[in-house]
Each structure stands twice: as C-alpha cells, then as structure tokens.
A and B are shown apart, each in its own frame.
Chain A
C-alpha cells in the first residue's frame, strides 16, 4: 500500500541555518506530493505541493522537488527563522484512485533557536 516516511525529529537548528527534512514515499500510482505545516496551537496549512515528476514546489522560502527516481520529496530552506518552528508533515495523494485521500508521514518537529 501507499506510505510516507519522514525523518524523525526533533530537528534543532540555529537561526539562518540550512534546513533539510527528508521524505520518501511508496505509491502504486502517480501521486501528488505535499508538505503541510502545523504551527504551535494551530491547524494544518498547506506549505507547498508538486503534482508530477521533476516539479518543484516552493513557498515562503521552502522548496521541495518531486524525485520519481528516488521516490523522494525532501523539504529544504536556505535560511530558517525562529518563526519556522513548527511540525512539518509530508503527505501524498494517489491521484490514480481519484479519492484525494491523503496519507501522512509521522511529522517532523523543527525547533529554530535565536
């Protein structure tokens, strides 16, 4: 079945450091891939997405490239800020079944120190 695997957290960085959060997936069809972010005490927000191989999603300085050959969708940011402290979820939606159901990774908590 479909699944998403994320690197375990917490990830602790100093402000302005480079961020990578690894995400790999297993899917039978041709999934769309997403990164969602959950700030403390808040709900889930879509951060970025990619719908086909080699697409790059980007938003708020974050980027992720859909790599079909390595079944990966790693999240990166060149210079993190304290305000980026949150839990990040990688997710996939298997478009092949047209259901739009999302399968989430376990989430990675990011803590950015001043």
Chain B
C-alpha cells in the first residue's frame, strides 16, 4: 500500500483567491491523480499528473483553473485558481503504485469558499 499525505486538510478561502494543495507519497509512484468531490456527490477525475510532462486534464477541467505540478515521483500540487463558492469541494489525491492495480487515496483537502 501507499501512504498519502495531503495539505491542507481543511481551509476556508475567500472568493477570488487561489489555494495550492500538496500531495506527498511515501514511495515513488508513476501515476498520481487529482479528484474532486462536490458536496453530496461522487468523485470526478480532474487530471492525471505525470512526472516530467504536462498533466492530462479530463473533459470540463482546464489548466488555467486547476494548474498541476509534478516535480518528482513522490510529490504533486493542485492549485484551485480564482475560487468561487462552486469550488467548495473535497479535493483528493490518489496514486496507482507501479506493478499493482489498486488506487489509494489521501484523506482529502476540504475546501470551503466564502
């Protein structure tokens, strides 16, 4: 298994500001993913973070709104830019360890935009 740490765990943000969420894994992983879970909803994949290349975004998500960095095989960041109340969600980092097909999740970053 993989141990995933996310920061911050919770935050209350002002409308129009940006917040960067960090994801640290205790082992090297090829694939890191960022998901969003809006209140009372299921999880939706935002993007796949690839080390050494641009992130791959899913339909409905764009780099200007959700810029992602992946500087090495154990770390990634997701920035939520120019936040509005609609961005109030749980943002979850997940990883797919090499050689396995199990996806593990961090505990999530709970963002409230006011």
Secondary structure at the B interface, as helix, strand, loop or mixed, is strand
Interface residue tally for chain A (C-beta within 8 Å): 21
Q: How far is the CA of A32 from the CA of B102 in the complex (A)?
A: 9
Determine whether A81 belongs to the interface, using a CB cutoff of 8 Å to chain B: no
Could you show 24 A-B contacts with beta carbons less than 8 Å apart?
Answer: A34-B103, A36-B105, A42-B107, A43-B92, A44-B43, A45-B105, A46-B102, A49-B101, A49-B102, A51-B101, A93-B101, A93-B103, A100-B33, A100-B101, A101-B45, A101-B48, A102-B33, A102-B35, A102-B43, A102-B103, A104-B42, A104-B43, A106-B41, A107-B42
B104 partner residues in chain A, CB cutoff 8 A: 46
Find the residue from A46, A100, A106 having the highest chain B CB count within 10 A: A100
Determine whether A99 belongs to the interface, using a CB cutoff of 8 Å to chain B: yes
Determine whether A95 belongs to the interface, using a CB cutoff of 8 Å to chain B: yes
Q: Mark B60-78, 1 if CB is under 8 A from A, else 0.
A: 0000000000000000000
Q: How far is the CA of A34 from the CA of B94 in the complex (A)?
A: 14
Across the A-B interface, give the 10 residue pairs with the lowest CB-CB distance, nearest first: A100-B96, A43-B107, A43-B108, A44-B105, A104-B42, A104-B43, A106-B42, A32-B101, A107-B42, A102-B103
